[in-house]
Amino acid sequence: MCVIGLPRDQILSRLARVREQTGLPLRGYAQMTDGELANLSGLSLAAARRARQRQFSETLVDPLTPAERERLGEACAREGLECRHGGRFHTVTGAGTDKGRAVRIVHELYEQAYGRDVATVGLGDSDNDAPMLRAVDYPYLVAGPDGGWPELAIAGLERVAGRGPAGWVEVVGRLLDGGGTSAVGAA
């Protein structure tokens, strides 16, 4: 198995120090029950249980101001961690670990397995998807709940008007129908 991240127990230990340094509450999935996460996120109880089963990240659920986010990011960096803001929550990983790195590794494995170039498609909806979207051949950014998109400067990025899951369905449907990347116009 290819391990590219810091184990969760080490992330949680370092986050405890970040919590002490910053005074921020930093409540994460590890401190919640399945029921609490289901109530907060709108996930089913089974989906919340699966979401809490992390191996190489921790999700923080408390809303933070921009100044608190900056303070958190600086403290995380001192501990060898990175914190990325998702659409609603924050994801903490070991430094240098992101979705883009994972995509590049999987892409290389597929090319080795098939002995040819393999095209990659990425769908995201928030700032924490930027590394993944930069790493793929065809990046798509679906609209958030407010109908807008985060400001991401990524070559070839196509913005999709569909919000959240509807945007994902729109892109995947068009790709599966053979429409390719030209079927989904930039919004």
Asked if 73 and 38 sit in the same domain, the reply is yes
Map residue 122 onto helix, strand or coil: strand
Asked if 13 and 87 sit in the same domain, the reply is yes
114 domain-assigned: no
Cα(4)–Cα(43) distance, integer angstroms: 28
Least confident of 43-47, 96-100, 169-173: 96-100
Please say which residue of 94, 129, 148 terminates a domain.
94
CB-based contact 58:92 (threshold 8 Å)? yes
Least confident of 70-74, 82-86, 90-94, 177-181: 177-181
Asked if 19 and 90 sit in the same domain, the reply is yes
Residue 158 scores a pLDDT above 70 = yes
187 domain-assigned: no
| Residue range 139-155, pLDDT digits in tens | 999 988 888 888 888 99
- pTM, 2 dp: 0.72
Residue 54 scores a pLDDT above 80 = yes
Give the neighbor-by-neighbor strand order of the sheet with 81-85: 58-60, 90-94, 81-85
* Number of domains the chain is built from: 2
Q: What does the pLDDT read at residue 163?
A: 86
Give the domain extent around 71. 8-94
- Mean pLDDT of the region 158-163: 90
Asked if 159 and 126 sit in the same domain, the reply is yes
